[in-house]
Structure 1
Amino acid sequence: MAICLRNFGGSTKDPGQKPFSFKIGQGAVIKGWDEGVLGMQVGEVARLRCSPDYAYGPSGFPAWGIQPNSVLVFEIEVLSAQ
């Protein structure tokens, strides 16, 4: 299934106002997003809290200022699902 969502912000420096599309289960996004959007409906807004195992783990994501083993929080809205 393909999902298009908007990340309203959270733990990263990514402003997230532009829609972002990905296919669930393909590894294109962190595990917390892959699993967190399952069961969500179009128009639904959710706050995802992703432990390091469901985010960037011990490597972090230095380019976005994410330290190793960080817990990340995102507020997302599902814009479409196919």
Structure 2
Amino acid sequence: MTTTLEDIHRDPAILDRAISSREPLDIVSGGEVTATLWPRVASSIEEARRLMRERFTAPDWQFSVGTPLSRDERNARG
């Protein structure tokens, strides 16, 4: 699948559809792929949380849209 951030903002279910169909979702900006979502089936909620915790605590973790948050700011979001 291919989409833009604007499309995702209008229809957030695009992410759910890509994940449920287990296909990569290319996010395009200015005619170029800027990010790709690679769905991976987690065996459980605990496994998904573990994976996200590992990603968010990595020293080189970045969220490419908006102002980067510090680890404390990310954790304070609830």
Larger Rg: 2
Larger strand fraction of residues: 1
Larger helix fraction of residues: 2
**Greater relative contact order, per chain length (Cα 8 Å cut-off, separation 6+):** 1
TM-score, with structure 1 as normaliser: 0.25
